[in-house]
Structure formats: C-alpha cells, structure tokens
Amino acid sequence: MILSLRLAWRNLWRHKRRTWLTALAMIFSNVLLIFMISLQFGSYDMMINNTLRAFSGEIQVQHEGYQQNPKLRSSIPAIIPLALELRSILPDAHIAARAAAFALVSSEQRSLGIQIVGVQPEYEPMVSTLPGMVREGRFLQDSNAAEIVIGRVLARNLKVSVGDELTLLGSGRDGSFAAGVVSITGVFDSGSSDLDRTLAEVPLGYFQDTFAMRDHGNAIVVAVDDLSAVPSALVAVQKEIRGKKGLTVLDWTQLQPGLKQAIQADMSSAWFMYGLLIILVAFSVLNTQLMSVLERTREFGVITALGIKPRKLASLVMLETALMALIGLVIGVAIGWMIASYLNIAGFHYPGMEEMAEKFNLPDRVYPSVTFFSMILGPGIVFLFSLLAGVYPSLRLFRLQPVEAMRAV
Amino acid sequence: MTAIKCIDLCKNFQQGDVVIKALNHVSLDIEEGSFICLSGPSGSGKTTLLNAIGGLDKLDSGEVYFNGRRVDQLGKGPMADLRLHYIGFVFQAYNLIPVLTAQENVEFVMQVQGVSVKERRRKSSAILEEVGLKGMENRRPSQLSGGQQQRVAVARAIVSQPKLVLADEPTANLDSETAAQLMDLLRELNQHHNVTFLIATHDERVMRYAQRLIRMQDGKIIADELQEAD
C-alpha cells in the first residue's frame, strides 16, 4: 500500500465516530436507494409485462399508418404465411396474426358499437392473457367457426350469456356490407372495464370471410419472453419485412406510448426524492471533510513548509473522501443487494395491494429487479456526489499560507 | 562559498494601528557548511528571518539568494520545489504527522520527491539509526518522548541531504540533557554531511554550539561574531 493511501486511510480513523457517522449516512442512503430503485424497476417490469401481455405484445407488424389511424383497409396481405415466416426466424417468440374492425353488435334487446378482433385461436393464448381470463364458457377453438368471446361488461350491457347469439353489422374491407351471426362461447373478465365493455374476439378465418378481407389481416403480434429480447427480435423482424412494401414494425414504446410516459413521469418524481437524499448525504460528507481540513490546518501548514505542494494535499483530502465514500458504497451495496435479492425471491407487498392486484389482474407482490444497474445506479451517484463534496475542502488548501497555517491552534 | 545571501530584507506587520518592523534592512551572508545561531529575545525577528530565507513568508522588500539564485520572487510551486529538495525544517513543536510511524514520517518527504520504496526504506532506516532511534521505527509520535520526536523531525529534515536546515527553537520543549544530545546530533550532522544549519534560539546553551552567532533585536542584526564552538 503506497504511503499516501496509508496516510489517507489512517487520517480517516483519527475521528472514528465522525467517520462512521458519515459512512453510516452513506450506507443508509445506499441501501434505501437500492431498495427503492430495484423495487421501482421491478414494478416497471411488472407493469410492462402485464400491459403488453394483456393484448398488444412487445412488437407488432402493421401496415404503415395503422397505429395512428386503424382502418380496416390498412391491411397486410397474406398475413398467415407472413406470420409463419416470422415464426421460422424467431423460434423462441410467440407470434399470432390479427385483424380488427368496428361493428355494431346486437342481441335481442340491445345494440352496441364495439371493436371486433379476429384472432388465431391456436396462437392467440400465447401472445395475450385475454384468452386465459375467460371466466364463463371457453375460448375460441375453430378458426372458421361463427363464434365470439366477449367481455363481462359487454355481456351485461347486451343482457346475454354463453350460448346466446349476437348479430354483427359493419363494413367490409371492399366497402361491402358485412354481417354475420355468431354464437357466444365465452365471457372474459380482464379487470379493465373499458376492455370488457368494448372488445370482442372472433376466429380470424371467420373475420376474413365476414369482412371481405380475403387473406388479409391488420397486425402480426410478436411476444418475447423478456424485454431484453425486444431489440434483437425487432431487428430480425425488420430484416424480414424489408422487401414488403407498406409494412412497418413497431416496438412496445410505440404501441403503448402512454405506458412509457407513465414510467417516465414516475421516474421523474422518484428521482426528485432520491436527489434530495443524495444532496443531504453530500452535505454530511462536506461537513465532515471541511472539519477534517480545518482542524488539520497547522499540520497542513507544516507539510507545505516541508515542500509539499497544495495539489498533493488536495489529492490527499480527495483520497480520504474517496475512501470514506468507498466504505459507504461497498457496505451499502452489500446490504442493499442482500435485501433486494431476498425480496426478489420472496416478493414485496404492502397492505391493500392484494385487492388492487386482483382488480387489475396483477400479481399481489412486486419482485424487485436485481441487476447490476439497479444495484449500482443509486450508490454510484452517492459516490460521485460524495467526491464532489470533497472538492471544496480540497480547494481551500490551495489558499493555504504555511506561516499563517502553522500559527493555527 | 556563500550558500545564502540576504540583501536589505524588510518585513513589517500591522498590529492594530502599530506597524511592527519584524525585519528592518537585514543583510546577511551564510557560508556553505556553517553552523550558525540566530539569537535574540522574542519578537526580535529570528523566526521571520528563517521564514523569509525558507520562502515561507513574502518579504516587503529585499533579495534572497540561494546558491547564487534569487529565490524571493519565486512562485509558490518553484518555492515548494526548492524547499522539498534543498531546505530542511525543524520546528519547535516537532510537528510530525501523528498518524504515521517514525519511519513513515521520515519517508514522507522522500515519497513526494519520487524516491523508490526500497531506497526510501534504506535511507530512513540509516538516518533513524544515526539519530539514535534504531528499534523505534514503527512507533507513532504519541509513543515517543519529546526528545525522540525532535530526533525524528531532524531525521526528516536531513534525510534528503538538503543544503540548508532551518531550525526554529528546536530545543525549546526539551529538558537540558535531551537538548544537549540534540545539539550534539545537529553538530555531528553538520560536520559529517556538510549541511548548513541556521538555528534560531534564545537558549544560551544552544548558542555555545555555534561557530557564528548572530544577535538580533527589533528586526535588526545588532551583532555578528565568530566564536569557538563547544
């Protein structure tokens, strides 16, 4: 160990209590930051997964402009062969074709305007959680059958149940009159009353026949196991459709811009709080280091008289600050990592969470995200601000006059 | 050969409305390898003169030459380099770094000079043995007596073989026996290493060791005489 490092280390422990108090403030804030940030990232993962898994998936292939203006005519030709192609290049992803139109749906007593989505019954359960939320009856099975699954709120509004028939009225892709009679095979309860009131699913083959779509559809949904797999899947899909005119690929941030904005807004408010905590810690370090420099004025005066330049003294004080911050970082990260790792397995929940989770079909526990980034982000910033707090006491040493300093008591 | 040349040094301090002339047109030549005592009552200007020669304090006027090179106008950095490589200091209150051992205190300046670890260890061990502190290398200042601490301070001052050692009241905090031992040591180092010593003191026993005695009063040199050292 070089002499400067030894000197800095021993200087730190001249006032053990003061050093430990400052280090403890850093440890506490690091543990708190790791806990909060990993919990935050964990809840974002949960929000994203649940939102995307409910319906939209992580990636979609659409006709250009369909996302902004979802018209039936903005369609993808030969959609099922294209979905097959994508399955061959992304064997680990789940892929399903869809088509969607707005239609008037009528029971014996009422008529309501809703969105009808044509889905592939064999693939849809793998890209969407909606089929798993069928609480009465069953999900669709035959791709050409005149069947429909509707939401609980829509069923209540239309006063229908499983086994009843509904009449669909709408416009076909070619402008023709689209009409059909479908039998209700299932009623789903997604937890979202909007979705349960306005959405119904029919088999894709039946949809194409009814809405004069021929082999067309409106979207191919790609669901991957992990958000980290999105970029590579996105590139692969983009490469595959490069030669196909009029098609575009959207990722989840484009499909669900509201979700991204909600996360960004939550991040901003959380970081405001984290910022306050970090500034408080930085002031604690500033106070400690300033006191440490002031009480050693005489000693620094002597050292300067021996021919040591202020730059060397300043780097010594910065080294002391860095060592203290390192103690806070290492111990804080170790404790924070242990807590986050435990909660990553056991989960974290607070009173009232079960009720909300059940309502929105979410898990009743949040699992903190234990990644290198979530572990080091907060403590890294605390470390950086602690170093910055050491700059002012260090700079004071450049103004030190040896004779005056040696007179200091 | 002249090691230090001071020409017409003036330094005033303001104390309230009163101007104190700490150095009042002081001129002085110091030969290389000499052993000189600056004596005089408190406030006579001894420490101010040492500080001026060591570049620790700025002069109001006058010129200081070190080995023929004018140094009183040097900036902070070059002056620090000059002190680091050519001037050693011994203070009244020892002023060792409390968290370093005796050996580390001696090595500290050499480390800044860029001396290798092996060389530092060799030199510091040798000098501590020379000042009579063999076996106490790993003791911290708090574990040493006043005399031993001052010996460490002397070892620190001379380990880099400076041309000049400025000592300000080095025996002030020592009992007479320890003071005599220290002065014997300084005299020996002066003779063996040809280091120039300029010692500020008002201790008559210390003055007896000097080859040349300069008496100061009210910021002026009032006597400058050669004498037979003890």
pLDDT digits (tens, 9 = 90+) for A318-367: 999 999 999 999 999 999 999 999 999 998 887 777 766 665 556 778 88
Beta bridge partners of B23: B11
Q: What is the pLDDT of residues A299-324, one digit of tens each?
A: 899 889 888 888 889 999 999 999 99
Residue A2 has pLDDT above 90, yes or no: no
Report CA dihedral (A85, A90, A96, A98) to the nearest 10 degrees. Answer: -60
Domain ranges across chain A: 3-51+259-407, 59-223
Q: Which residue of B has its CA nearest to A305?
A: B56
Residue A380 has pLDDT above 90, yes or no: yes
B80 CB neighbours in chain A (<8 A) are 304, 307-309
Give just the sign of the alpha carbon dihedral B13, B14, B16, B17: positive
Predicted confidence at residue A263, as pLDDT, reads 87
Predicted confidence at residue A126, as pLDDT, reads 93
- Give yes or no for a contact between A110 and A155, defined as CB atoms under 8 angstroms apart: no
Residue B142 has pLDDT above 80, yes or no: yes
How far does the CA of residue A302 sit from the closest CA of chain B (Å)? 7
Q: Which of residues 145-164 of B touch A (CB under 8 A)?
A: 156
Choose among B197, B218, B224, B225: nearest CA to B43: B218
The residue ranking higher by pLDDT, B114 or A158, is A158
Mean pLDDT of chain B: 89
AA identity, residue A369 = S
Q: What is the pLDDT of residues A169-211, one digit of tens each?
A: 999 998 899 999 999 999 999 877 888 999 999 999 999 999 9
Predicted confidence at residue B197, as pLDDT, reads 93
Predicted confidence at residue B182, as pLDDT, reads 82
The verdict on a CB contact (< 8 Å) between A304 and B108 is no
Q: Which of residues 137-156 of A touch B (CB under 8 A)?
A: none
Q: What is the pLDDT of residues A6-60, one digit of tens each?
A: 888 988 888 889 899 999 999 999 999 999 999 988 888 888 888 888 888 999 9
Hey, is the C-beta of A306 within 8 angstroms of any chain B C-beta?
Answer: yes
Which structure tokens are listed for B124?
């510091």
Cβ-based contacts under 8 A for chains A and B: 63
* Cα B63 to Cα B72: distance, rounded to the nearest angstrom: 6
Domain that holds residue B135: 2-226
For residues B91-116, average pLDDT = 89
Residue B179 has pLDDT above 60, yes or no: yes
Hey, is the C-beta of B110 within 8 angstroms of any chain A C-beta?
Answer: no
Q: How confident is the model at residue B230 (pLDDT cuts 50, 70, 90)?
A: low
The verdict on a CB contact (< 8 Å) between B97 and A298 is no
The residue count of chain A comes to 409
* Consecutive H or E run containing A37: helix A16-51
- As for how many domains chain B has, the answer is 1
Predicted confidence at residue A362, as pLDDT, reads 66
Mean pLDDT of chain A: 91
CA angle A84, A85, A87 (to 5 degrees): 65
- Give yes or no for a contact between A214 and A165, defined as CB atoms under 8 angstroms apart: no
B76 CB neighbours in chain A (<8 A) are 309-310
How many CB atoms within 10 Å of residue A271? 15
- Give yes or no for a contact between B137 and B58, defined as CB atoms under 8 angstroms apart: no
Which one of A1, A3, A397 makes the best mutation probe of the B interface by having the most chain B beta carbons within 10 Å? A3
Predicted confidence at residue A35, as pLDDT, reads 94
Predicted confidence at residue A49, as pLDDT, reads 80
Predicted confidence at residue B165, as pLDDT, reads 93
Full-prediction pTM beyond 0.90?
A: no
CA angle A42, A44, A49 (to 5 degrees): 100
B112 CB neighbours in chain A (<8 A) are 307-308, 312
What CATH number is attached to the domain comprising B19?
3.40.50.300
